[in-house]
Chain A
Amino acid sequence: METFTGVTCPFCGCLCDDIEVTVEKGNIVKVKNGCAYSLTKYLNCNRDRITTPLIRENDKQVVVELPAAIERAAKILSDAEYPVLYGWSSTSAEAIGLGIELAEEVGGAIDNTTSVCHGPTTEALQELGLPGCTLGQVKNRADLIIYWGSNPLQSHLRHMSRYTIGAEGRWRKSRDDRTLVVVDVRRTYTARVADYFIQVEPNRDYELITALRMALRHEEIEQERVAGVPVEDIEELADLMMSCEFGALFYGLGLTMSSGKNRNIDAAISLVRDLNRWTKFVMIPMRGHFNVNGANIVFLWHTGYPFAIDFSHGYPIYAPGATSAVDILSRGESDAALIISSDPAANFPRRAVENLFKNPLIVIDPHRTVTSMRADVVIPSAFVGIECEGTAYRMDGVPIKMRGIAEPPKGVLPDEEILKGILTEIRRLKRGG
């Protein structure tokens, strides 16, 4: 029996790195410090596992050896005119780099799950920039915390205790040293522990932010309520923001997915930019998957763009709305797909899923998923951060090495090895043909 300390949790973008995991004979038997998600992930990582490669033959998935699965995957990708390679947010930076090389090699499109979470954040950032910082800055300095369209008590369970209102920092020792504001359409669990809760009407965040910017400049708002919020409350919030020493705005999909999308983020960035004239103010997007930020970061140094990249011309073309996975699939443009550590069949709109299933489909995943059920090739993989190592990037950009502490099922390889195998085979096919 061995206990590992300082283990980094591969669940969400918080990348808590203080988990203690006890392993016995290659299996995880005990987990300390983790949140409910973390515990469930570690203790159930062998549930519903795929342990052998599968290939579809006559409408049935049959067990094959790994080389046969890799060969079939390589054949599908090299025969395709325009394959789409999607996922990449729950694997290692190293695997993501190989994925991009693979997409270049086959002239396909590659996209990560950013396009369905914080894509609008990056689109707004490209217009305006973003004043941000690492989470430790917030822990040490912030006296005003805002969660906007984000519900960390359901989504990022230790965010508040590690980095914001529950954290002990150099200049902020206790809960009393910080003010918490929550803006949401519902009185969420997070809202209940807030000092101020602002209930905004759905799809009207943009108006509320604009009103806040007006209030900062002491402009008269000639209405009693904006987006369902009384003007006095807006003015009070503006005053709170201007008079703090260090403010931090955390925002989630409530802002990126609502009507306006990237325009909402434009407005939020403008607000935080304005606030920097009076005080120190930063913003950090609440990223979901543990390495979705890593996917953006690795895509960037390889291609210059964070997601939604098309290599059909031999160089990267970035046009979200055209080269993003949902759009390519909804229009039925792709003729094959490789899905890695993601389950678009469960999360994409129906029309996109129908087109995904119409064409040859390769899935690399530790788990059985809705997508893998209909795949032509299924290759089981090891969990990054549990069964194999690799780098991940926290929501604020801090890179952390994930460790391998348990044994993967026999014969199951890390994503990195599987992708290397496919890439080598594709290059062999090209030279041979």
Chain B
Amino acid sequence: MKAILVTGRTLGQGLGLEMGKFSDIYYRNVATCEMNRVDMERLGVKEGELIRVSSGLGSAVLRVVKSFEEVPSGIIFVPYGPWINRIMRPETHGTGMPSFKGIEVEVEVEASRLSEIPKIDELLSRG
């Protein structure tokens, strides 16, 4: 499924920052993806299951959560953080700032239902 990716600040992400980047709360709050109910049904994925979000630069595995803030169909929302940033393009279009919002991505159900979202140190050591 094609979608528009928006990343942003969430309370859980912000609190997680203060609890430490290696804390469980950060991991639980940031390695997630908010989706619209209609999109979840179309994709055949339930809350808590894993999806893979891919851009031209790579892909990230994230856990689906129900959107409290009513993401419209066709848009997915992911908190700022190292999981999603790995698929962001570095181009800044002469501004110094990469595009962190409104990016076209491909979303699919993570094929291997057994796979785990890497913890932050694994994420980095995988390069």
A257:B100 contact, CB within 8 angstroms: yes
Chain A contributes a number of interface residues (CB within 8 A of B) equal to: 62
Q: Is A352 an interface residue (CB 8 A)?
A: yes
Q: Which listed residue, A185, A307, A347, touches B80 by the CB 8 Å rule?
A: A347
**Cα–Cα distance between A154 and B4 once the two chains are bound (Å):** 21
Pick the interface stretch among B10-18, B46-54, B110-118.
B10-18
Q: Is B45 an interface residue (CB 8 A)?
A: no
Contacts of A157 in B (CB 8 A): 11
What DSSP secondary structure best describes chain B's contact surface? loop
Taken residue by residue from 356 to 378, chain A's Cβ proximity to chain B (1 for < 8 Å, 0 otherwise) reads as 00000000000111100110000
Q: Is A314 an interface residue (CB 8 A)?
A: no
B120:A370 contact, CB within 8 angstroms: yes
Looking at the assembled complex, report how far the CB atom of A119 sits from the nearest CB atom of chain B, in whole angstroms.
5
Looking at the assembled complex, report how far the CB atom of A95 sits from the nearest CB atom of chain B, in whole angstroms.
20
**Cα–Cα distance between A35 and B68 once the two chains are bound (Å):** 20
Give residues 5-48 of A contacting B (CB, 8 Å): 11, 36-37, 40-41, 44, 47-48
Q: Is A202 an interface residue (CB 8 A)?
A: yes
A202:B4 contact, CB within 8 angstroms: yes
Contacts of B18 in A (CB 8 A): 11, 37, 40-41, 44
B97:A326 contact, CB within 8 angstroms: yes
A202:B19 contact, CB within 8 angstroms: no
Residue in B9, B93, B127 with the greatest tally of chain A CB atoms within 10 Å: B9
Q: Which listed residue, A123, A191, A346, touches B85 by the CB 8 Å rule?
A: A346
Contacts of A352 in B (CB 8 A): 90
A350:B72 contact, CB within 8 angstroms: no
Give residues 19-53 of B contacting A (CB, 8 Å): 19-23
Q: Which listed residue, B88, B90, B102, B120, touches A258 by the CB 8 Å rule?
A: B102
Give residues 133-178 of A contacting B (CB, 8 Å): 151, 154-155, 157
Q: Nearest chain-B residue to A204 (Cβ)?
A: B102
**Cα–Cα distance between A254 and B99 once the two chains are bound (Å):** 11
Give residues 300-347 of A contacting B (CB, 8 Å): 307-308, 320-321, 324-327, 330, 343, 345-347
Contacts of A349 in B (CB 8 A): 57, 85-86, 88-90, 98
Q: Nearest chain-A residue to B80 (Cβ)?
A: A347
Q: Which listed residue, A37, A308, A345, touches B96 by the CB 8 Å rule?
A: A308
B9:A350 contact, CB within 8 angstroms: no
B15:A346 contact, CB within 8 angstroms: no
A261:B93 contact, CB within 8 angstroms: yes
B96:A115 contact, CB within 8 angstroms: yes
Give residues 175-229 of A contacting B (CB, 8 Å): 185-189, 191, 199, 202-203
Q: Given A202-B102, A254-B101, A259-B102, are A350 and B57 also a contact pair (CB < 8 Å)?
A: yes
Q: Is B106 an interface residue (CB 8 A)?
A: no
B82:A345 contact, CB within 8 angstroms: yes
Contacts of B101 in A (CB 8 A): 202-203, 253-254, 257-258
A351:B90 contact, CB within 8 angstroms: yes
B95:A262 contact, CB within 8 angstroms: yes
Contacts of A117 in B (CB 8 A): 97
B127:A368 contact, CB within 8 angstroms: no
Q: Which listed residue, B11, B21, B72, B93, touches A343 by the CB 8 Å rule?
A: B21
B9:A151 contact, CB within 8 angstroms: yes
Q: Nearest chain-A residue to B94 (Cβ)?
A: A321
**Cα–Cα distance between A116 and B87 once the two chains are bound (Å):** 16
A370:B77 contact, CB within 8 angstroms: no
B19:A47 contact, CB within 8 angstroms: yes
Contacts of B85 in A (CB 8 A): 346-350
Q: Nearest chain-B residue to A372 (Cβ)?
A: B21
Looking at the assembled complex, report how far the CB atom of B34 sits from the nearest CB atom of chain A, in whole angstroms.
9
Q: Given A115-B97, A326-B97, are A347 and B82 also a contact pair (CB < 8 Å)?
A: yes
Looking at the assembled complex, report how far the CB atom of B108 sits from the nearest CB atom of chain A, in whole angstroms.
20
B96:A154 contact, CB within 8 angstroms: no
Q: Given A44-B19, A189-B68, are A320 and B94 also a contact pair (CB < 8 Å)?
A: yes
Taken residue by residue from 90 to 119, chain A's Cβ proximity to chain B (1 for < 8 Å, 0 otherwise) reads as 000000000000000000000100011101
Q: Is B124 an interface residue (CB 8 A)?
A: yes
Q: Which listed residue, B6, B8, B80, B90, touches A326 by the CB 8 Å rule?
A: B90
A186:B95 contact, CB within 8 angstroms: no
**Cα–Cα distance between A349 and B87 once the two chains are bound (Å):** 7
**Cα–Cα distance between A324 and B69 once the two chains are bound (Å):** 33
For the complex of A and B, 4 pairs with smallest distance between CB atoms: A324-B96, A48-B20, A321-B94, A115-B96
Give 19 A-B pairs besides A47-B20, A321-B96 with Cβ atoms closer than 8 angstroms: A36-B11, A36-B15, A48-B21, A111-B96, A116-B97, A151-B9, A154-B8, A154-B11, A253-B8, A254-B8, A258-B102, A324-B97, A326-B97, A346-B81, A347-B82, A350-B90, A369-B21, A370-B21, A370-B120
Using CB atoms and an 8 Å cutoff, list the residues of chain A in contact with chain B: 11, 36-37, 40-41, 44, 47-48, 111, 115-117, 119-120, 123, 151, 154-155, 157, 185-189, 191, 199, 202-203, 253-254, 256-259, 261-262, 288, 307-308, 320-321, 324-327, 330, 343, 345-352, 354, 367-370, 373-374
| 11 A-B contact pairs sorted by A residue (CB < 8 Å) | A37-B18, A151-B9, A157-B11, A186-B6, A189-B68, A189-B69, A320-B95, A324-B95, A327-B90, A346-B85, A347-B82
